[in-house]
Structure 1
Amino acid sequence: MSAAGVALMLGGAGILMAASPAQAAEVSYATECVPPPISGLPAVQGTTKVELTAPAEAKVGDEIEVVWKTVAAASKNPDVLDLGADTVKPTGTVTLGGAASGELKLEGPRQNPPIPKNSPMLLPDMKGTLKLEAAGEITLTPGAYNINVSKPISTDTKCAPKEEVRPAATIKVTEGGGSTTGGTTSGGTDSGGTDAGGTTSGGADTGGTTSGGTDSGGTTSGGADGGADGGTDTGGTASGGSTGGGGGETDFPGKEVSVAYACKTPIGDKNATSPVRISAKKSGGDYDLTVEFSKSVMDSPIDIPAGQVKPSMDVKLGGADKGTVKVEGPVNKEVIKTGAPIEIPDLTGTYKPGASGKSTLSPGVLTVMAAGTTTTCTPPAGVAVSLELDTSAQPGGAAGGSGSGGAADS
């Protein structure tokens, strides 16, 4: 049983008892901030400066307000992503000492001015309410804090002290005539948002937020982390691919080629290399295409609900034919857990040739719609050919436009 019960009361819930004039004291402490995984950034070592405001004196039974003002965050918003207005929400923890024990949870509003890249983090004040239940001196020491950024996806940066922090305020509590209830210490509700991915926060040097998006080798989703290769593979395997289309054959497996994608994600530019194979099955004068990714190219920084990830690609035509063919994959059927690989399903569509002769098919622009965000990955100009077909022109075929008759059943 703690000596003081703590209740986090938000937005005018309850009336604070009168107490002596507030005191404000500033402390600084070494801090380590861990950016969301989607940022791909290492932990940041910095100094947090906090000003705590609380009454100097109060009585047992009073409910007093504690205010945490972040004078200086541990780092700047990195040179990755501008943060929009009212997207940043901090939560923090104050440790109680002396005549009380436990922790007081504080919360700030999602309220901030626009924060440009490579500029100081500007965080709103956090507040919490402490009910005093025993006489004596109570010390208040700022500690860990979390910064949630809501866009483009919800991500968190977690910051914690790396040294012993000295108390920032002391409250002298005297008997007020009421009995001490000695309730358990509680931190109230910490609404720092989901733990993931994304974005700059709380002074953490981060990817700028996350998440909405996902960081991947061409299959970035609402917030996926990792899988990014250096992107140095410029063209993949030698061109030429597999050749088919003549005679009585109907199945034409393509050649796997390595594609160095340059991706535009909600949290910035990323490079990733993925092996891709394009195969075809002849159906009359048309071809049912299947595009396969042989491995996952990213891990998810957050839990992604079912039905939220939808990939597609514009297969590039060359040789005798020109244009693109749209192929699509199904949405994810199950929840993708944080840290789990995001598997790319087979992408399917119908190729209607627009020219007669040897036509080539190469991996083209990959688009991933995920949780309200869009990631676009572009292959290099010299991307390798995966498949070559002997085609015969069909009415309404590609020949410079789209040779897709819609996605094939998957």
Structure 2
Amino acid sequence: MSAAVVALLLGGAGVAIAASPAQAAETTFKVKCVPPAGGGSPVEGETTAKVTAPATAKVGDEVDVVWETVKPASNNTDLMDIPKDSVQPTGWIALGSGMGELKVVGDKVNPPIPKKAPMQMSAMKGKLKLTKAGKITLTPGKYDVAVTFSFGTFVTKCAPTGDVGVGATIDVSPGSSGGTTNGGATNGGATNGGATNGGTNNGGTNNGGATGGSGGQTDFPGKPVDVKFDCGETVPGGITTPVTVSARKNGGNFDLTVKTAKDAMKAPVPLPKGALKPSMQIKLGGGDSGIVNVTGPANAEAIAQGAGVSLSDMTGTYKPGKTGKVTLSPADMSIDVTMVAGSAPLTVPCKATSTGVSLELDTTAQPGGSGSPATTTTTGSATSGNLAETGAEDEGGIKALALVAGTVILLGGAVFTFTPWRRLRGTR
């Protein structure tokens, strides 16, 4: 269902009400919106943005800037209604005079949006610290739209495809200088507002990896990256799902937590407690090399047929072997499937064929650090250890597992299929 849901996020926007500053100007421009992997083809449309900001100010002032979308780039599709208070926009406004860009964020406030109805989202707001005199132009640019459903959050990224007119201009006069520079990162503490995917920080709103090792910071949230896994014949078409790598500093080491899409797949048959246990490799890059193994517990409760299924969060520890900036990227994954307690699991190996950097850390080398030696994940038929020797007492489990063959399960934006157990037919 999630693959259909992300097709809803076509980069629309709606009319929102904002306070009236000294000036407001509208500009209309074309955009191309790209849904998450599995969400369909990119969509091109035209949107009208109104940017409000003071007409005049002086150096040292911190001013409010608002981006309000007057005309959406598209309507909601005819696939699904969008719930109330589930749409959150984040935009970036280009600043003139070499001041970089300003990040503006909207509240997660919207009325219910029926199928085919115009998209609606709140005005995006931010604070701009003025550090130089002159005329500062504000031009709307790329923006992200995150929509949260009960089974996860999905983000569509939109960017202009041509020239964009200036939305507003601030005439900045000399004044008391100093203070922090805008620098094009976060302004006035504007934050994403916590759009989450069952606890997973979701796509596009956190741009660039978090950087660790400075200012006493201990928690380093990563950004979600779409990872495509090739699972051979076991999963035709493979798996594509957002994966987020986050870290918590623990002395000189980092405790890692890896999350995939939540509640985005349905159980085709009843799954017993302990049926699914995930593990993954996290590849180190930049100043360090190797991999870090992370594993997650099996599902703690039985899962009814048709109920939502999640892979558990996976954890592990990264002990740096080098000092410098180190990148962390999701790599190969495997899922152990156990339908009968005490029997050997059937392992589904999945090789990451495309991935990206989810997190960047500043590290200090530790004695005996770095990641584990890289291992090879092979694709093809799933392996089952001694499954062929489980005998008649496991027959019920084998039959139940065989029922899953050919059944399509959505995992993130991907199709997850437990497939053919041809070699089990004799034991059945």
TM-score, normalised with respect to structure 2: 0.50
Partner of 1:330: 276
Q: Which amino acid is the alignment partner of residue 90 of structure 1?
A: P
Paired residues in the alignment total 272
Q: Which amino acid is the alignment partner of residue 127 of structure 1?
A: K
CA gap of 1:344–1:30, structure 2 versus 1, over 3 A, is same
Matches for 1:342-361 after TM superposition, within 5 Å: 343-349=334-340
Q: Deviations over 1:236-272 (max 9, x none)?
A: xxxxxxxxxxxxxxxxxxxxxxxxxxxxxxxxxxxxx
**For the residues of structure 2 that align with 1:353 and 1:387, how far apart are their CA atoms?**
13
Determine if the alignment matches structure 1 residue 364 to structure 2 residue 403.
yes
Determine if the alignment matches structure 1 residue 300 to structure 2 residue 265.
no
**For the residues of structure 1 that align with 2:201 and 2:179, how far apart are their CA atoms?**
43
Partner of 1:29: 29
Q: Deviations over 1:357-407 (max 9, x none)?
A: xx9888325697979xxx99899xxx99962668xxxxxxxxxxxxxxxxx
Partner of 2:192: 191
Partner of 2:310: none
Partner of 1:169: 168
**For the residues of structure 2 that align with 1:150 and 1:312, how far apart are their CA atoms?**
18
Q: Which amino acid is the alignment partner of residue 110 of structure 1?
A: K
| Larger Rg belongs to | 1
Contact 2:239 2:411 in 1 (8 A): no
Q: CA deviation at 1:138?
A: 1.4
Partner of 2:120: 122
Matches for 1:69-88 after TM superposition, within 5 Å: 69-88=68-87
Q: CA deviation at 1:118?
A: 2.7
Partner of 1:363, secondary structure, is: helix
Matches for 1:238-253 after TM superposition, within 5 Å: none
Q: Which amino acid is the alignment partner of residue 159 of structure 2?
A: A
CA gap of 1:88–1:225, structure 2 versus 1, over 3 A, is farther
CA gap of 1:274–1:387, structure 2 versus 1, over 3 A, is farther
More helix by share: 2
Partner of 1:214: none
Q: Which amino acid is the alignment partner of residue 103 of structure 2?
A: K
Contact 1:134 1:180 in 2 (8 A): no
TM-score, normalised with respect to structure 1: 0.52
Partner of 2:142: 144
**For the residues of structure 2 that align with 1:119 and 1:102, how far apart are their CA atoms?**
35
Q: CA RMSD in A?
A: 5.0
CA gap of 1:190–1:162, structure 2 versus 1, over 3 A, is farther
Determine if the alignment matches structure 1 residue 112 to structure 2 residue 58.
no
Q: CA deviation at 1:53?
A: 0.9
CA gap of 1:53–1:387, structure 2 versus 1, over 3 A, is same
Q: Which amino acid is the alignment partner of residue 119 of structure 1?
A: A
Partner of 2:425: 387
Partner of 2:45: 46
Contact 1:29 1:49 in 2 (8 A): yes
**For the residues of structure 2 that align with 1:140 and 1:385, how far apart are their CA atoms?**
64
**For the residues of structure 1 that align with 2:333 and 2:242, how far apart are their CA atoms?**
10
Contact 2:22 2:54 in 1 (8 A): yes
**For the residues of structure 2 that align with 1:369 and 1:329, how far apart are their CA atoms?**
17
Q: Which amino acid is the alignment partner of residue 349 of structure 1?
A: V
Contact 2:147 2:155 in 1 (8 A): yes
Partner of 2:132: 134
Taking only the aligned residue pairs, the percentage that are identical comes to 33
Contact 2:235 2:417 in 1 (8 A): no
**Runs (5+) with no aligned partner, structure 2:** 1-19, 206-223, 246-256, 281-293, 295-313, 315-327, 342-391
